[in-house]
Structure 1
Amino acid sequence: MVVREENDVVVARAGCGLSWFETVGDLDRDQFPMLGGLDPYGDAAFNQRQMSVLLKELDRLPDGCQGQWVDEVRALGRTVLQKPHRYLWFIGD
């Protein structure tokens, strides 16, 4: 996971990865449209407007989905919200 500005400059990156199959792979896409839409093989970008929805989804995650990655997404999300034209990228395999 990284935060990039519109010119593709990386301004922050996560220290851990997201194990898709063990965390968000089985989430109901109706209840978790942002996290449930992640693809383990593709990239996904979230803009400032989407961050509020993504952060709310993190608050509702089942216990089995928790981990260090949640704290890192929150921190990266705050970085996205600090300045316009920043995006949180989940990088697939």
Structure 2
Amino acid sequence: MINLIVRGDNGRFVARAEAGVEWTAGFGDLSPTEFPVLWALTPYGDAVFNQRQIPLLLAELDRLPRACGGEWVQQARELCQVVERGTHRYLWFVGD
């Protein structure tokens, strides 16, 4: 399970998604050229996205294959808004 959280520059917790990303084989099938942002996710590592990367992440979420979707997608969108509304905020995908 990959958890989604927003942290500030100092590591301070700002927001968290209730749903996590359930890793499926579909994520391994994502093309790095079509999904360069989501392709960075791994089930055991962390990925961090800054305010400038959020539009790229949102665009990839729009075309994400159904096999990789779930409740987490809407919650990720909401966390993207939290990042965009503040300064020095980052969206973290935290692997197990």
TM-score scaled by length of structure 1: 0.93
Which of 37, 42, 45 is the aligned partner of 1:39?
42
The residue number in structure 2 matching 1:14 is: 17
Structure 1 unpaired stretches of 5+: none
Aligned residue pair count: 93
Q: Percent identity?
A: 53
Which portions of structure 1, spanning 4 or more consecutive aligned residues, are displaced by more than 6 angstroms? none
The residue number in structure 2 matching 1:67 is: 70
The residue number in structure 1 matching 2:56 is: 53
Give the partner amino acid of 2:72.
Answer: W
Structure 2 unpaired stretches of 5+: none
The residue number in structure 1 matching 2:27 is: 24
CA RMSD of aligned residues (A): 1.2
Once residues 87 and 26 of structure 1 are traced to their aligned partners in structure 2, the CA distance between those partners, rounded to angstroms, is: 26
Q: Which one has the bigger helix percentage? A: 1
Once residues 19 and 40 of structure 2 are traced to their aligned partners in structure 1, the CA distance between those partners, rounded to angstroms, is: 20
1:8-57 alpha-carbon deviations (Å, 9 max, x no partner): 11110010110122552321111000101111111110000000000000
Query: By how many angstroms is 1:5 displaced?
Result: 0.5
TM-score scaled by length of structure 2: 0.90
**Of 17-26 and 58-67, the range deviating more from structure 2:** 17-26
CA contact (8 A) 1:48 1:81 kept: yes
